[in-house]
């Protein structure tokens, strides 16, 4: 099993209020209880739906009415639309329904077999990258600028890097 939902910084009250207006209670509770946390050993991060809405509308117009829930370490997006969780796999140009209830989605996220399954998340090469590099903490606007100079950012991108992302957080 993977890590359970780990709490993160709180979702802004404006974003939370907007979510309350249009989403079921259990989806809103995801942000209330966990903020912008992570799950699946850092593979998925809970996102601020307001911050992602314009991006979603631009890159996936068919899903413009959806609410972004999570982003993956591989650039995929989990969105909520019409009472279902959809996975938008931008790396493959596909989308599919992965759960009819939030509770089902949260169970799926607890098992590596679902995360590795091509019919669900197909998370390879994430486990290998996590083993080699660690899991980077979710950046905030303030922490990125305070933590990384341009040369440090270059160091973080070098494949031969031996330290983990977690060691760069402060």
Q: Is residue 6 part of a domain?
A: no
Q: Is residue 98 part of a domain?
A: yes
Please check whether residues 157 and 102 belong to one and the same domain. no
Please check whether residues 21 and 89 belong to one and the same domain. yes
Q: Pick 154 or 134 by higher pLDDT.
A: 134
Read off φ and ψ for residue 46, nearest 5 degrees: -70, 135
What is the pLDDT averaged over residues 94-103?
A: 94
Please check whether residues 20 and 103 belong to one and the same domain. yes
Q: From its phi and psi, is residue 99 left (phi > 0), alpha (psi between -120 and 50) or beta? A: beta
Please check whether residues 151 and 89 belong to one and the same domain. no
What is the pTM for the complete model shown?
0.77
Q: Is the pLDDT of residue 97 over 80?
A: yes
Mean pLDDT of all residues in the chain? 81
Q: Parallel, antiparallel, or unpaired for β 84-89 and 77-81?
A: antiparallel
* Count of Cβ atoms closer than 10 Å to residue 116 Cβ: 14
Please check whether residues 88 and 35 belong to one and the same domain. yes
How many domains does one find in the chain? 2
What is the pLDDT averaged over residues 10-18?
A: 94
Each residue's pLDDT tens digit, 29-57: 999 999 999 988 888 999 999 999 999 99
């Amino acid at each position: 099993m993977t890590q359970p939902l780990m709490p993160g910084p709180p979702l802004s009250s404006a974003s939370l209020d907007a979510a309350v207006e249009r989403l079921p209670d259990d989806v809103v509770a995801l942000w209330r209880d966990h903020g912008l946390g992570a799950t699946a050993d850092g593979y998925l991060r809970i996102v601020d739906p307001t911050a992602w809405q314009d991006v979603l509308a631009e890159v996936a117009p068919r899903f413009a009415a959806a609410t972004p829930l999570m982003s993956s370490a591989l650039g995929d997006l989990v969105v909520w639309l019409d009472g279902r969780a959809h996975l938008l796999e931008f790396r493959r140009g596909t989308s599919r329904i992965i759960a009819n209830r939030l509770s089902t989605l949260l169970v799926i996220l607890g098992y590596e077999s679902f995360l590795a399954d091509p019919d669900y998340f197909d998370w390879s090469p994430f486990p290998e990258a996590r083993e080699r590099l660690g899991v980077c903490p979710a950046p905030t606007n303030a922490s990125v600028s305070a933590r990384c100079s341009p040369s440090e950012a270059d160091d973080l991108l070098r494949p031969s890097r031996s330290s983990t992302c977690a060691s760069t957080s402060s």
